[in-house]
């Protein structure tokens, strides 16, 4: 089974980092972590190619090679996401879609011609998709029914599929979910209010994978709130510090966190000790009154 993974182009926006990328001479800020995680969850006997349309266009021979085209997107990708589906269908390919945009607005993907809607979190719904494909199904919609997967079972993403030299930073994920209810954010709708984390050993294995592939620059910890589960973050940082020391600090880190991180100097120092240099204030705790 030949699987072509396609990541749509960002329009000129907050997400496209056009001017920043010009300055650093890179084609894209971050790789599609969701798609390379999908590739790791799917049967490893299948063949995979990945094209990030922010890096380059999909060639005609790549469209023809595929048995199934898988496209993942956020809402900001809407225009190019729909165009990718239509191009794949023009080549006569089955198309499967997933990610935040199809999960939130599945009718739009279906109207564009997607055959398989693999919605919610892939650890739950991708096995359903695989079963359908192996049965010979030509379409289907797969939902988790509210189940939130244990991410300690999530395999190491297929970083080897990336054109790594095109990216300003790599992406890695420790947790999903956030305990807060900020009015501007849909994370709790997608991933819930109980942060689920990987194990420290699991994350170190992912760092080792990037190290072995030759990466030596910045890594963005893409958690929507890195400190959503402070206990587990402390365990991670305790494990990361000796690993970073032993490997001569090969990476710098950035992440997103709620502003209450500023109330925890010890945790901030633990992050500094692991070579975190930047935190984007992604959310804030709700105001409480006595």
- Is the pLDDT assigned to residue 258 strictly greater than 80? yes
Measure the CA–CA gap between 16 and 21, rounded to whole angstroms: 9
Q: What per-residue confidence (pLDDT) applies to 33?
A: 98
- pLDDT at 190 (0 to 100): 65
Inside any domain, residue 288: no
CA–CA dist 89, 114 (Å, integer) = 8
pLDDT at 181 over 70: no
Question: What is the pLDDT at residue 185?
Answer: 66
Can you give the pLDDT at residue 186?
Answer: 64
Judge whether 255 and 226 are in contact, CB under 8 Å.
yes
Instruction: Please indicate, yes or no, whether residues 188 and 92 belong to a single structural domain of this protein.
Output: no
C-alpha distance across the termini of the chain, in Å: 60
Neighbours of 290 (CB within 10 A): 2
Task: Determine the structural domain holding residue 6 and report its residue range.
Answer: 2-142
- Tens-digit pLDDT profile for residues 38-96: 999 999 999 999 999 999 999 999 999 999 999 999 999 999 999 999 999 999 999 99
176 and 264 belong to one structural domain? yes
User: At residue 137, does pLDDT exceed 70?
Assistant: yes
Q: Do residues 274 and 188 share a domain? A: yes
128 falls in which pLDDT band (50, 70, 90)?
very high
Residue 27 sits in the same domain as residue 113? yes
**Same domain membership, residue 25 and residue 103:** yes
pLDDT in tens, 203-250: 999 999 999 999 999 999 999 899 999 999 999 999 999 999 999 999
Report percent pLDDT > 90 for the chain.
85
Give the CATH number for residue 224. 3.30.750.210
Q: Is residue 275 over pLDDT 60?
A: yes
For 239, other C-beta atoms within 10 Å of its C-beta total 16
135 with 176, same domain: the answer is no
Confidence of residue 290 (pLDDT cuts 50, 70, 90): very low
Across all residues in the chain, what is the average pLDDT?
93
Instruction: Specify the pLDDT at position 289.
Output: 36
236 in any annotated domain: yes
**Digit-coded pLDDT (tens) for 111-120:** 999 999 999 9
Confidence of residue 18 (pLDDT cuts 50, 70, 90): confident
Q: Name 96's Cβ contacts closer than 8 Å, sequence gap at least 6.
A: 68, 69, 70, 71, 114, 115, 116, 117, 118, 129
């Amino acid at each position: 089974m030949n699987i072509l993974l396609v990541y749509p182009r960002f329009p000129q926006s907050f997400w496209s980092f056009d001017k920043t990328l010009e300055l650093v001479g890179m084609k894209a800020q971050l790789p599609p972590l969701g798609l390379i995680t999908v590739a790791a969850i799917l049967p490893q006997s299948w063949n995979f190619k990945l094209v990030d349309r922010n890096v380059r266009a999909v060639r005609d021979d790549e469209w023809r090679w595929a048995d199934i085209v898988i496209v993942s997107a956020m809402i900001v990708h809407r225009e190019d996401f729909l165009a990718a589906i239509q191009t794949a269908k023009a080549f006569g390919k089955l198309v499967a879609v997933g990610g935040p945009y199809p999960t939130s607005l599945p009718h739009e993907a279906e109207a564009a011609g997607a055959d398989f809607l693999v919605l919610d979190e892939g650890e739950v719904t991708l096995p359903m998709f695989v079963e359908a494909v192996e049965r010979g199904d030509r379409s289907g919609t797969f939902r988790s029914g509210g189940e939130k997967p244990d991410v300690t079972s999530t395999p190491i993403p297929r970083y080897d599929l990336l054109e790594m030299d095109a990216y300003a930073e790599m992406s890695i994920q420790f947790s999903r979910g956030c305990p807060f209810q900020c009015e501007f954010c849909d994370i709790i709708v997608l991933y819930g209010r109980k942060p689920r984390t990987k194990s420290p050993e699991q994350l170190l294995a992912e760092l080792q994978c990037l190290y072995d592939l030759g990466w030596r620059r910045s890594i963005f910890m893409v958690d929507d709130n890195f400190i959503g589960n402070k206990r587990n973050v402390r365990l991670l940082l305790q494990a990361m510090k000796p690993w970073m020391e032993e490997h001569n600090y090969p990476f710098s880190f950035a992440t997103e966190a709620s502003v209450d991180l500023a109330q925890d100097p010890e945790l901030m120092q633990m992050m500094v000790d692991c070579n975190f240099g930047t935190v984007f204030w992604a959310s804030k705790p709700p105001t409480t009154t006595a």
